[in-house]
Amino acid sequence: MSLLVHKPGLLSTIQDAGREGFRKYGIPAAGPMDVAAARLSQSLCNNNHNQPFIELTLHGAIFEFENTAVVALTGGGATALLNDTPLPYFSSTVVKAGSILKFCPAPFGCRTYLSVQGGFTIPEELGSTATYLPGKLGGIMGRAIKAGDRIEFNLKKQIEENVTGIEVELGNPALYSNHVTIRFTEGPEWSWFSSEEQNLFLHTKWMIHPQSNRMAYQLEGNTLALTQKKELISTAVMPGLIQVTPAGFPYILMADAQTIGGYPRLARIKSEDRTILAQCRPGYQLNFQKI
């Protein structure tokens, strides 16, 4: 009982709720970029939140269901076609054996979450199946999903083919617009920047750079200068922090972010707004609002 990968798309990885308790050893939690969407996909399949699922970035993936399964898609960034018929997001659906699921371009969003009832059979590493690509840890041999992979279902009982779909939806503005507002609080080194530089950060229309990834989003728009030259001893960092490099470029740390860093921490993204960021693709414009 498995899912056969014909094409993996731009980037598809096995994730779960994340790997906790290892940051002190330099190992990030990883897990989903869009936590809310991932949790919803699991709930629609009656899974617990720590069972393995697939996170897909944008479009291009093609999967074949070698057995019947109950599936749910949440998030965005692609239009799903099941046997060339649109498959709705935010709904649980019975997919018959032999069906082909394709992900085609969509105007908004960035990441789709594919859960199957019972989850996938993936061995745990350090208590989790979450893929951490920089460390080659978790998932399928620590790598992204590739063509030819067969990902086994972890089904404990026969699928009932008369399951009724359940529809739910999340209100994520990044799924409907490429210009979003992100809320933040001051970071530990906010005061290292003059009021002029702080206002520049607030009033710039920032754009997500094409080289952004699961570790960090690089922002384009302006450069930010420190009031005076200071050096920060490497200290703890975590997803949601905005650091500023010596060249003045802001970076938003994301799910695979390193555990320590030496750049000034300008701001902290409001935790709920990290789900908005997760659905922002390169080229999206961001405005920041201080709270």
Q: Round to whole Å and give the CA distance between 99 and 68.
A: 9
Q: Round to whole Å and give the CA distance between 177 and 194.
A: 32
DSSP 8-state class, residue 40:
H
What element of type H or E holds 119? none
- Domains in the chain with CATH codes: 2-170 (no CATH), 175-290 (2.40.100.10)
Q: If we measure between CA atoms, which residue out of 251, 272, 273 comes closest to residue 262?
A: 251
> Does the reported pTM lie above 0.85?
yes
At 98-141, the pLDDT tens digits run 999 999 999 999 999 999 999 999 999 999 999 999 999 999 99
The answer to whether 268 touches 189, Cβ cutoff 8 Å, is: no
At 207-246, the pLDDT tens digits run 999 999 999 999 999 999 988 777 788 888 999 999 999 9
At residue 162, the pLDDT reads 45
Exposed, middle or buried, 21 (CB in 10 Å: 0-12/13-18/19+)?
exposed
Return per-residue pLDDT of the chain as tens, 291 residues.
799 999 999 999 999 999 999 998 999 999 999 999 999 999 999 999 999 999 999 999 999 999 999 999 999 999 999 999 999 999 999 999 999 999 999 999 999 999 999 999 999 999 999 999 999 999 999 999 999 999 999 876 555 544 545 555 668 999 999 999 999 999 999 999 999 999 999 999 999 999 999 999 999 999 999 887 777 888 889 999 999 999 999 999 999 999 999 999 999 999 999 999 999 999 999 999 999
